Homo-oligomer: A and B are copies of this chain.
Amino acid sequence: MSGSIGELGEFGLVAAVIARLPQGPAVLLGPGDDAAVIRAADGRVVATTDLLVEGRHFRRDWSSAYDVGRKAAAQSLADVAAMGAVGTVLLVGLGAPATLAAQWVLALADGLRDECAVVPASVAGGDVVRAEAITVAVTALGDLQGRRPVTRSGARPGDVVAVCGRLGWSAAGHALLAAGGLGVEPPLEVCVEAHRRPAPPYAAGPQAAELGATALIDVSDGLIQDLGHIARASGVGIVLRTDLMVDAVTVLVPAADAVGGDALSWVLTGGEDHALAGCFPASVGLPPPWRVIGSVGRGSGLTVDGRPYDASGGWDHFA
């Protein structure tokens, strides 16, 4: 399909997008009406929304439309997983200039669709409007399947802190791209790919709930900052040990060497990988790929190897 979305028109564009979006079993009524109707057999629905704005959350010269779709879907589906739920559908609002190539929007839809397929979920509805900057608003719904939701506020002294998924890969990839490394070779290329397409461990969310997680969070803003949310919400202190993160750090050393970055800093403060971090009673036998990285104590705040860590390395959307 050639031409701009302005030439295609709103209804032509929407029809072309819908034609690319298969609907999953949770969708009782899909795109094309005033609203979608989604199955919520559990009697509860998990719901979260995120905005991505061009220039702030992605760059079109660094990420393809397909990658932006993958990333936008992953970001919201990871939030659903972090409640201990399974994603069911996305609703996607797109703001875009009339001059944008229709092909870009179709590739975005393909990315959304394919990331949904990992869960599996589907894109059940949306909206397109004209805007100066490309804006992608993603709402994800999820199903707790009878489980209690795992919040940020249940961590207790004596718990262990564990993570599942990548840490710092997206930050490393961003640093490589910022250093002009668009053509970087493997193994560095994996970090760039991780920046373009996070790979959240979706199944680890419900798994954590089943294992008895007391608190769970999606690492979107950096481990330090996000575990800080758990510490604050739970009224506990969290102690991280970098000797338990050696593997996570080591894998990023080649990238750090290439750009003069700090691999440990990426692991501790890099966001957008959408790993899951949680707290579990010490008695729980955590199966791989969960890795224990610290523990929960009394008090407040977060220390790394016994010292307070300046959490300002995280991501404030207005800083």
Contact, CB under 8 Å: B38 / A45: yes
Q: Is A185 an interface residue (CB 8 A)?
A: no
In the complex, which residues of chain B have a beta carbon less than 8 angstroms from the beta carbon of A53?
95, 129-131, 135
How far is it, in angstroms, between the C-alpha of A95 and the C-alpha of B152 when the chains are bound? Answer: 25
Known: A50-B93, A130-B317. A85 touches B5 (CB 8 A): no
Contact, CB under 8 Å: B131 / A135: yes
In the complex, which residues of chain B have a beta carbon less than 8 angstroms from the beta carbon of A153?
33
How far is it, in angstroms, between the C-alpha of A55 and the C-alpha of B319 when the chains are bound? Answer: 25
Q: Is A79 an interface residue (CB 8 A)?
A: yes
Contact, CB under 8 Å: A57 / B152: no
Q: Is A13 an interface residue (CB 8 A)?
A: yes
How far is it, in angstroms, between the C-alpha of A131 and the C-alpha of B50 when the chains are bound? Answer: 13
Contact, CB under 8 Å: B40 / A44: yes
CB-contact partner of A49 in B38, B85, B93, B131, under 8 A: B93
In the complex, which residues of chain B have a beta carbon less than 8 angstroms from the beta carbon of A34?
48, 79-80, 82-83, 152, 216-218
Q: Is A293 an interface residue (CB 8 A)?
A: no
How far is it, in angstroms, between the C-alpha of A111 and the C-alpha of B48 when the chains are bound? Answer: 21
Q: Is A126 an interface residue (CB 8 A)?
A: yes
Contact, CB under 8 Å: B57 / A129: yes
Q: Is A127 an interface residue (CB 8 A)?
A: yes
Contact, CB under 8 Å: B98 / A318: yes
In the complex, which residues of chain B have a beta carbon less than 8 angstroms from the beta carbon of A82?
34-35
Q: Is A29 an interface residue (CB 8 A)?
A: yes
> Could you say which of A13, A91, A139 has the most chain B C-beta atoms within 10 Å of its C-beta?
A139
Which A21-64 residues sit within 8 Å CB-CB of chain B?
A: 28-29, 32-53, 55-57
In the complex, which residues of chain B have a beta carbon less than 8 angstroms from the beta carbon of A233?
32-33
Range, interface on chain A = 35 or more
Contact, CB under 8 Å: A131 / B33: no
Known: A83-B35, A218-B34, A317-B10. A127 touches B44 (CB 8 A): no
Q: Is A103 an interface residue (CB 8 A)?
A: no
Which A73-125 residues sit within 8 Å CB-CB of chain B?
A: 79-80, 82-83, 85, 89, 91-95, 98, 124-125
Which A116-166 residues sit within 8 Å CB-CB of chain B?
A: 124-133, 135, 137, 139-142, 144, 149, 151-153
A-B pairs, top 9 by smallest CB distance, nearest first, are: A137-B137, A35-B48, A40-B40, A34-B82, A49-B91, A51-B93, A139-B139, A34-B79, A10-B317
Chain A interface residues toward B at CB < 8 A: 5-6, 8-11, 13, 28-29, 32-53, 55-57, 79-80, 82-83, 85, 89, 91-95, 98, 124-133, 135, 137, 139-142, 144, 149, 151-153, 216-218, 233, 316-319
Known: A35-B46, A35-B140, A98-B318. 9 other contacts (CB 8 A): A35-B80, A36-B48, A47-B141, A49-B91, A51-B135, A56-B130, A95-B135, A130-B317, A130-B318
